[in-house]
Copies of this chain bind each other. A is one copy, B any other.
Amino acid sequence: PPAWDRATRPPPSPLQPFGLPLAPCRFFSNNKIQVELDESSGVAMMKFKSPPVNSLSLEFLTEFSIGLEKLENNRACRGVIITSAIPKVFSSGLDITEMCGKSMEHYAEFWRAVQELWLRLYGSNMVTVAAVNGSSPAGGCLVALSCDYRIMAENPKFYIGLNEAQLGIVAPFWFKDTFVNVVGHRIAERSLQLGCLHPTPEALKLGLVDELVPEEKLMEKAAAVMAQWLALPDHARQLTKTMMRKAVLDRLVAHREEDIKNFITFVSKESIQKSLRVYMEMLKKRK
């Protein structure tokens, strides 16, 4: 069952705030994402460490979803800070190689993994804070938008946005719904149509991120914000979050198979395959 159906987890007792950890875990790291849990604070840190640019490949997405699930089921964990271990990039978004020259089955599996990650993250019962310490286009932006709070490092070279239109592709409706919930209809309409990548001051002005801080203060700030959110009783906060996000989560759940079919149809068009190949060539030359 998706995470937002499990908001019935009982609130922690005031004297033993995090319950008995059912599955004590201080550190687990896989190939692509490093996870540390500080049981004293109840806060986990998830660090993307998939060079060169933390692309959301099928493997990355699977690890990300499993990591979130483990934390969600761990009574010792109440919140997670998501950040990058790679300099200058938070996540570059969906891995284009997963969409290029693969089988229909692969496209379906990949897209289901993208959906799964979003359903888990946007519907998480944990407090989720994005510490955006680098650029965050497309799917990377979606990860940040799906958290409860977004703090971005102030850096004139960093940008964030759902820039799919620039690549000739269209953000799916649930990317759009998540975006509209954060910045409103008008800003979303313009930004999505133009495929904008917003520099940090603009991202703050539009409400796409909640706060900008100097890079060296980012983790400190993220911890302070997390502490503020964890000061609230979990149960009421979780039910409130569910109330705010349920309509948009339910919409994907109701149209999940259709959305997969649409993705397959779209991505397997020769014109789209051609665009993606051109784009990949360009990326390779850049390196």
Where the two chains meet, the residues of A that have a C-beta atom closer than 8 Å to any C-beta of B are 10-11, 148-149, 164-171, 173, 176, 180-186, 188-190, 192-195, 207, 210, 228-229, 232-233, 235-237, 239-241, 243-245, 271, 275
Q: How many copies does the complex hold?
A: 3
| Complex contact A232–B186 (CB within 8 A) | no
| Complex contact A189–B181 (CB within 8 A) | yes
| Complex contact A241–B193 (CB within 8 A) | yes
What CA separation (Å) do A167 and B160 show in the bound complex?
Answer: 36
Instruction: For A185, list chain B residues within 8 Å (CB).
Output: 180-182, 184, 244
| Complex contact A193–B10 (CB within 8 A) | no
Which of A10, A11, A176, A189 has the most chain B CB within a 10 Å cutoff? A189
Q: Which residue of B lies closest to A172 (CB)?
A: B243
Q: Which residue of B lies closest to A180 (CB)?
A: B185
Q: Which residue of B lies closest to A266 (CB)?
A: B239
Q: Which 5 A-B pairs have the closest CB atoms?
A: A168-B233, A165-B236, A170-B239, A189-B244, A181-B185
CB<8 Å pairs between A and B, sample of 24: A11-B271, A148-B189, A149-B190, A164-B236, A165-B240, A166-B232, A167-B236, A168-B235, A169-B236, A173-B243, A181-B185, A182-B185, A183-B186, A184-B184, A186-B207, A189-B241, A189-B245, A190-B210, A192-B240, A193-B244, A194-B232, A194-B237, A195-B232, A195-B236
Instruction: For A173, list chain B residues within 8 Å (CB).
Output: 243
Q: How far apart are A187's CB and chain B's nearest CB, in angstroms?
A: 9
Q: Which residue of B lies closest to A189 (CB)?
A: B244
Residues of A contacting B: mostly: helix
| Complex contact A232–B182 (CB within 8 A) | no
Instruction: For A233, list chain B residues within 8 Å (CB).
Output: 165, 168, 275
Which of A186, A245, A275 has the most chain B CB within a 10 Å cutoff? A186
Q: Which residue of B lies closest to A207 (CB)?
A: B186
What CA separation (Å) do A182 and B176 show in the bound complex?
Answer: 16
Instruction: For A183, list chain B residues within 8 Å (CB).
Output: 186
Q: Which residue of B lies closest to A170 (CB)?
A: B239
Given A182-B186, A186-B182, A244-B185, A193 and B232 contact (CB-CB distance below 8 Å): yes
What CA separation (Å) do A245 and B194 show in the bound complex?
Answer: 15
Given A164-B236, A171-B240, A271-B11, A229 and B182 contact (CB-CB distance below 8 Å): no
Q: How far apart are A181's CB and chain B's nearest CB, in angstroms?
A: 5
